Structure 1
Amino acid sequence: MPAVDDDVLFRKISLRVLPLAMVGFFLSYLDRVNIGFAQDQLSQDLGFSNTAYGLGAGLFFIGYFLFEVPSNLMLTRVGARRWIARIMVTWGLISGCMFLVDSELAFYILRFLLGVAEAGFIPGVLYYMTQWFPPSRRGRAWGLFYIALAASGIVGGPLSGVILDGMQGIAGLDGWRWLFIVEAIPTMLLGLVILVWLPEDPRAVRWLSEREVERLGRLLELGNASSSRAGLGAVFRSPLIWLLTGIYFSYNFALYGISFWLPGLVRGLGVEGDMKVGLVSALPSVAAIVAMVVFGYSSDRHGERRVHIALAFMLGAAGFVICVLANDHALLGIIGLMLANAGALSIPAIFWSFQTAMLSGTALAGGIALINSTGNLAGFAAPYAIGAARDATGSAVVALWVTAGFMALGAVLTLASSALHGSAADTGKRWTRTRGTRS
């Protein structure tokens, strides 16, 4: 009987599992950062300062931080399909309610509640995907998954511009209010679709043969054999986990510094009009998709994670430095933003492949949630710091230098992680020994 072809097996899994996860990720990021496009109209209409906007943008991550670990542990009890669907419907409702904002207090409360509602989605999906992809396949799988993050910038920018310009005044509502209403509806609908269609367990699907299910189980066992099965308490005491959290914090500082302020940075380069700003804001996401595919493929091909992550950090740092040096030179500034976004968005897929190779079971779910929730506190720090810096200095130069510094720090911490991992040899090198194995 012929052996199971692993490439065919994981192509099947990718086509069935990844699309729903990617669309969900696309919508989560769109609903999370669409206030960046609404900022200009919203701030003018309600009189918000840059600091107030930055604080509201960042409060999302306080709610996210407080509830993410409990949310991800709950997912392991009730199942990914039900819990992810619950998350999406809840956050869609709250995101839509943002159209009711009429004061700073209402803005702050709804942003905090949005973080509470969405807590657990991304780490929950990442944990779910570890049930389908062994460590040797996660770089490519998560590289594809994180394309949704960049795609939200490509589609979200122009779409937001169309809504802001085209729906202004309809039914007596401002364009920014329609933005929240329109972009919340697909999220709630997808939550219902996931409840019905997302496969919960490889053993329960009909599109894999018995031999393919057995092969998948064997590969997952081989991957988990080299992973730590330490209890959840040991995860919280692990210096390596906290170092990984520092790396993830550095990445998120750059990511959300770009995400929440990209339209404002583009306007600062002389681009005017919501539609034009939306179109130009899509260019960094195009660059990111190319970089994500290249980094993910190269990382899997060479069985190496650490150096690839460090190089992506340095690419992002270089992009932020170019943004500073560009001054009012629009083309150079846009190139800098493209490089910064390309570097930043190439990090997470490789990073999670690196991290999840070390843990399994409850420790894996808790470890992902701890790193993601604590690292995401940068999502509070970055928007608030940039907003305060712009109010204090009238420009984003200081904030861009700080962001470049965090990217450089991320590279240093990544390279230093080998000392805590017990060997300079990357975990990924062990994975290559399982690739040629066939049943």
Structure 2
Amino acid sequence: MSSTQSTSSSFSAAGADPGRLLFSKIAWRLMPFLFACYLVAQIDRMNVAFAKLEMLDNLGFSEAVYGVGAGVFFIGYFLFEVPSNLLLRRYGAHRWIARIMISWGAVSACMMFVQTPLQFYVMRFLLGVAEAGFFPGVIYYLTDWFTREYRARITAILMTAIAVSGVIVGPISGAILHSMGGHGGIAGWQWLFLLEGVPSVVLGVVTLFWLPPSPARATFLSQGEKQLLAARIAEERTTVDDVPVRSLLLSPRLWIFSALYASYGMSFFGFVFWLPTIIKSSGVKDPLSIGLLSAIPWAVAVIAMFMVAAWVDRRQNPRPALIVLSLLAAIGWVASPAVSGSVPLSLAVLSLAMFGLMASLPVFWNLPIAVWQGGASAIAIAIITSIGNLPGLFSPSIVGWTKTVTGRMDSAMYMFAAASLVGVILLAIPCGNKTPGAK
């Protein structure tokens, strides 16, 4: 009897599916740490929205300067996303993810030294360069560890870090601004960048020792478990295309998926860069109160991401779910200007928009992962992520300009709603519907 058969027999004797127990074991080993890494990544990305509450007045920056600086991040991110993912395959996920985290943590902490608009733009660009490749690299890394039937939930666990970071970054950032300003002659916004950048560097070092380079070199798995995992992954990949890069780039599905992810990005960056400002415009002035209230829509997102991902995993029907979620996001954004004078109503409609948007993100990755594998998968994920982040380049600038001119954010909210409706249209295109497992 082989070691795989022995492992299967022992699992069967316990009355459990060997694959389910194996994937559960892998999830408990990998996901808490990857979740923590992605959490601090999102905090380092979001904290500029809270630093803005003091930094603009302190440095004399306009809303337009902030909008440009927020967007410049995505130039570096876009330019280095695909090269970073290719280097990840060359040097190994654990080494490259560690490099990414250490460099972005250092750059984020150094944001405290910004004094001029040009310095702000340069540091935001470098932060984008440093972070490029992290998320697509992790998604690609996880395809070696989990089969399709588990990926929506696993991706939801990872991407829930976005929502959880939204829950905690507000109160923490608000508390730093509220209590640390002036200590040691350093402004509150400077303390914010320093204190929230250090954890990334620490986790980056730990990554080198915690993440296995591959399942074959995972010391926490027995030999039988490694063989069982390899068999399950190999069996699934026989039904998935491993195509040349040229064919991949000519695939309509790649560009439809990229445009769809960009429609999510437009709405997502509305939350990341402007949620504190939206709450402030409804009449809340204290930074700590703004931080606490901003946690509410993100808390709704945490529940939504797990609930919807589990539902989709059971039914394997990502496309209809994504259509409904995009419609919910559009409704929430459209209703926002009408209730902008009421804090409770504003939070309610923003939570609806957040529900639709954030629940879409882990479900979306079922579509490209079900189509490509191997090198094609790594490149496809990087391209989709790069294009999906492009709205972060121009969206903050547009919002900053319109807010400077009109003093309101109504036009921006309608723009976010329109982006959600574009997602509905893209999901209805037959060319993008040919994904294994979709019903």
Quickly name the TM-score band, shorter chain normalised.
over 0.9
Cα 1:422/1:379, change in 2 over 3 Å:
closer
Equivalent residues of 2:46, 2:169 under 8 A apart: no
Q: Aligned with 2:428: secondary structure? A: helix
- The runs of at least 4 consecutive aligned structure 1 residues that moved more than 4 Å come to none
Tell whether the 8 Å contact from 1:254 to 1:382 is kept in structure 2 after alignment. no
The one-letter code sitting in structure 2 at the alignment partner of 1:211 is G
Deviates more, 1:262-271 or 1:308-317: 308-317
Give, in angstroms, the shift of residue 68 of structure 1.
0.5
The one of 144, 153, 172 equivalent to 1:140 is 153
Helix, strand or coil for the counterpart of 1:206?
Answer: coil
In 2: Cα distance, 1:298 partner to 1:428 partner: 14
User: For each residue in 1:30-78, what CA deviation from the matched residue of structure 2 results, as whole angstroms up to 9, or x when unmatched?
Assistant: 1012010010200001111111101100110010000000000010111
Q: How does 1:20-419 map to 2 (within 5 A)?
A: 20-416=33-429, 419=430
Q: Residues of 2 paired with 1:126 and 1:338: CA distance? A: 27
**TM-score using structure 1 length:** 0.95
Amino acid in structure 2 at the alignment position of 1:26: L
1:421 CA drift (Å): 4.3
Counterpart contact for 1:303–1:429, Cα < 8 Å: yes
Structure 2 unaligned residues grouped into runs of 5+: 1-8
- 3-state SS of the aligned residue for 2:115? coil
How much does 1:422 deviate? 6.5
Partner of 2:21: 8
1:212 Cα deviation from its structure 2 partner:
2.1
Counterpart amino acid of 1:288?
A: A
How high is the sequence identity, in percent, across the aligned residues? 38
1:420 corresponding residue in structure 2:
431
Provide the rounded CA distance (Å) in 1 between the counterparts of 2:117 and 2:433. 49
TM-superposed CA distance for 1:246, in Å, is 0.5
Which whole-Å deviations, capped at 9, do the CAs of 1:326-350 have from their partners, x for residues lacking one?
A: 1312211111111111211111211
Q: Distance in 2 between matches of 1:227 and 1:25?
A: 28
Q: Give the match's secondary structure for 2:400.
A: helix
Question: 1:235 aligns to what SS in structure 2?
Answer: helix
Preserved contact between residue 58 and residue 383 of structure 1 (Cα < 8 Å): yes
In the TM superposition, residue 223 of structure 1 has moved relative to its aligned partner by 2.1
Q: CA deviation at 1:429?
A: 4.2
Letter in structure 2 aligned against 1:24: C
What's the C-alpha RMSD, in Å, of the aligned pairs?
Answer: 1.2
Q: Helix, strand or coil: the match of 1:68?
A: helix
- Measured in 2, the distance between the counterparts of 1:218 and 1:278 equals 48
State the shift of 1:248 in Å.
0.5
- Return the alpha-carbon distance in structure 2 between the equivalents of residues 326 and 126 of structure 1: 38
Deviations for 1:95-146, whole angstroms, at most 9, x for unmatched residues?
0110000000000000000000110001001111111111121011111111
Q: Distance in 2 between matches of 1:295 and 1:384?
A: 32
User: Structure 1 regions of 5+ residues with no counterpart?
Assistant: 431-439
Q: Say if 2:427 and 2:433, in contact at 8 Å, map to a contact too.
A: no
The alignment partner of 1:132 has SS state of: coil
Which secondary structure state, in structure 2, belongs to the residue aligned with residue 270 of structure 1?
A: coil
Post-superposition shift, 1:91? 0.6
